[in-house]
Amino acid sequence: MFDKSGQLFAEAINYMPGGVNSPVRAFKAVGMDPIFIKKAQGAKLYDVDDNEYIDFIGSFGPLILGHSHPDVINTITDVAQDGTSYGAPNIYELELAKLICEAIPSIEKVRMVNSGTEATMSAIRLARAYTGRNKIVKFAGCYHGHADSFLIKAGSGLLTAGIPASPGVPANHAEHTLIAEFNDLSSVEKLFKEQRAEIAAVIVEPVAANMGLVLPELEFLQGLRKITELTGALLIFDEVITGFRLKYGGFQNICGVSPDLTTLGKIIGGGLPVGAYGGSREIMNLIAPEGEVYQAGTLSGNPLAMAAGITTLKLLQDPDIYDRLEVLTYLLTNRLKNVFEEKDLYYEINTLGSMFTIFFTEQTVTSYNDVMTSDTAKYAAFYQELFKNGVYFPPAQFETCFVSGAHELADIDKTVNAVQKALEKIL
Ligand SMILES: *Cc1c(COP(=O)(O)O)cnc(C)c1O
């Protein structure tokens, strides 16, 4: 069933660390080898052995419209006729920047980069320059890309691999990163009581989606705004996943809490490599060449990525799309809850908009500590069976499933059946 993928992987591990270019793709957490994808269309992935999967990853977040949306593909092929990179300004950068600033009021100016990692890394450099302070507060289980400052108690692949902090991050660098608990304001207050004069910024995923999906309490986000305002630290919302995922704009448009800086990525590149960070004119004007905070990029504002992002955002301006995504996701998660209950399993399913995670734990999941009660061995067993039945969830418990605009009711039916079968096998 996986002959060709198996051969390719055996070869790949000789040439690339772990045979992959991003750790979670290696399927280690679910005790499998990765498959090689040949083609992706709509809600489906096809591997080199011609197996078909209903995809709930969407490239880990970007593909809210599904794979190979014809408008996005046409845009990319059209724009490529005029070249792929100029090393000079292009009209697409301006258009995407305008769309972002119009959609997210806290962003008056924006800088395009090539990945979410670059966006968060640059945002904290800017926060440090603006405040003249060095320390940042991040939350256990939140993931902000792989820059040194963030590889401490981080989510996503680090959480999956059980890595508390990466080797290679100098201790005198790591000491500038303070860790608090998501949804626990008192843990933040404590840090500010001790070190308020040194804290440049609090960075948070306003909806935590890299330890599985953990929803914020509104008072938590409001509290972060209050504490940072009182102490002169900046509040950074890392909306690399949530930007344009839950509505047109960021989660900040929903929760009404306005950060000083926002980082974006994933959806705004329409499936091409992208990132962005933005905020008020006053703060963003510190960035070179207007100011002295240096940050640059050979391929930043790349015309193909910008144009793919523009087409994606324009399609997302359709007011029906987010409603449809939410209804489909509700139908799926609600039916999954019933399937689990029929088997006497009261697993937690956290869901918001088009995002959801099934936590293999029987307690409610509102914090990092709750997340860590999940039975990852059970998840792995479940995952392997689900996969055999043609449903592609993220290959780790601590990731979020994404429903796309290309999913249909038939996909929901098939997924529910596959989950039913998988549970029968593992119980
Ligand atoms: C994916 C992600 C990043 C990193 O983005 P890359 O493009 O993978 O570098 C940063 N923050 C959050 C919240 C993310 O989900």
CA 313/CA 318 separation, integer angstroms? 9
pLDDT value at position 55? 98
- Answer yes or no: 368 catalytic: no
Domain containing residue 221 = 70-316
CA 117/CA 421 separation, integer angstroms? 38
Gap between the terminal Cα atoms of the chain: 24
Asked if 304 and 367 sit in the same domain, the reply is: no
pLDDT value at position 309? 98
What pLDDT band is residue 154 in, cutting at 50, 70 and 90? confident
Taking CA atoms, 273 is separated from 29, 55, 104, 254, 369, in Å, by 26, 20, 21, 26, 33
pLDDT at 133 over 70: yes
Q: Identify the bridge partners of residue 330 per DSSP, sorted by sequence position.
A: none
Cα of 250 from ligand 1 centre, angstroms: 15
Asked if 351 and 230 sit in the same domain, the reply is: no
Structure-token pair, residue 236: 């950074």
Structure-token pair, residue 282: 């006053």
pLDDT at 94 over 70: yes
CB 141 within 8 A of CB 329: no
Asked if 261 and 355 sit in the same domain, the reply is: no
Q: Around Cβ 10, how many Cβ atoms within 10 Å?
A: 11
- Give mean pLDDT, residues 189-211: 97
- Give mean pLDDT, residues 278-282: 98
Q: Mean pLDDT for the chain?
A: 96
C-beta of 53 in contact with ligand 1 (< 6 A)? no
Q: What is the pLDDT of residues 337-352, one digit of tens each?
A: 999 999 999 999 999 9
pLDDT value at position 311? 98
Asked if 323 and 257 sit in the same domain, the reply is: no
C-beta of 394 in contact with ligand 1 (< 6 A)? no
Cα of 244 from ligand 1 centre, angstroms: 14
- Answer yes or no: 347 catalytic: no
Residue 129 CB-half CA count within 13 A: 18
pLDDT at 199 over 70: yes
What pLDDT band is residue 152 in, cutting at 50, 70 and 90? confident
Cα of 421 from ligand 1 centre, angstroms: 33
**Using alpha carbons only, what angle is made at residue 325 by residues 322 and 330, rounded to the nearest 5 degrees?**
125
Residue that finishes a domain, picked among 316, 338, 360: 316
Q: What is the CA 334 to chain-centroid distance, rounded? A: 23
- Give mean pLDDT, residues 371-398: 97
Measuring CA to CA, which residue among 396, 416, 418 is closest to residue 163?
396
Residue that finishes a domain, picked among 294, 316, 338: 316
C-beta of 210 in contact with ligand 1 (< 6 A)? yes
Cis amide linkage into residue 89, ω under 30° from 0: no
C-beta of 249 in contact with ligand 1 (< 6 A)? no
Residue that finishes a domain, picked among 316, 331, 350: 316
pLDDT value at position 162? 64
C-beta of 23 in contact with ligand 1 (< 6 A)? no
Q: What is the pLDDT of residues 203-252, one digit of tens each?
A: 999 999 999 999 999 999 999 999 999 999 999 999 999 999 999 999 99
pLDDT at 163 over 90: no
Q: Quick one: 345 exposed, middle or buried, by C-beta within 10 A (0-12, 13-18, 19+)?
A: middle
Asked if 357 and 402 sit in the same domain, the reply is: yes
Structure-token pair, residue 286: 């510190």
C-beta of 145 in contact with ligand 1 (< 6 A)? yes
| Stretch (H or E) spanning 402 | strand 401-402
Cα of 239 from ligand 1 centre, angstroms: 9
Q: What is the CA 260 to chain-centroid distance, rounded? A: 20
DSSP state of 9: H
C-beta of 370 in contact with ligand 1 (< 6 A)? no
pLDDT at 153 over 90: no
What pLDDT band is residue 174 in, cutting at 50, 70 and 90? confident
CATH of the domain at 209: 3.40.640.10
Structure-token pair, residue 238: 């890392």
Asked if 303 and 385 sit in the same domain, the reply is: no
Asked if 80 and 162 sit in the same domain, the reply is: yes
C-beta of 93 in contact with ligand 1 (< 6 A)? no
Asked if 138 and 151 sit in the same domain, the reply is: yes
Cα of 298 from ligand 1 centre, angstroms: 20
- Domains: count for the chain: 2
Q: Which of 111-125, 153-167, 371-385 has the lowest mean pLDDT?
A: 153-167
**Top mutation candidate among 241, 251, 399 for ligand 1, by most atoms within 8 Å of CB:** 241
C-beta of 239 in contact with ligand 1 (< 6 A)? no
Catalytic residue among 238, 260, 370, 411: 238
- Answer yes or no: 238 catalytic: yes
- Give mean pLDDT, residues 314-320: 95
Asked if 212 and 304 sit in the same domain, the reply is: yes
Catalytic residue among 53, 130, 143, 368: 143
Cα of 159 from ligand 1 centre, angstroms: 14
Backbone angle region of 159, left / alpha / beta, with phi > 0 → left and psi within -120 to 50 → alpha: alpha
CATH of the domain at 376: 3.90.1150.10
Residue 333 CB-half CA count within 13 A: 24
**Top mutation candidate among 20, 59, 117, 357 for ligand 1, by most atoms within 8 Å of CB:** 117
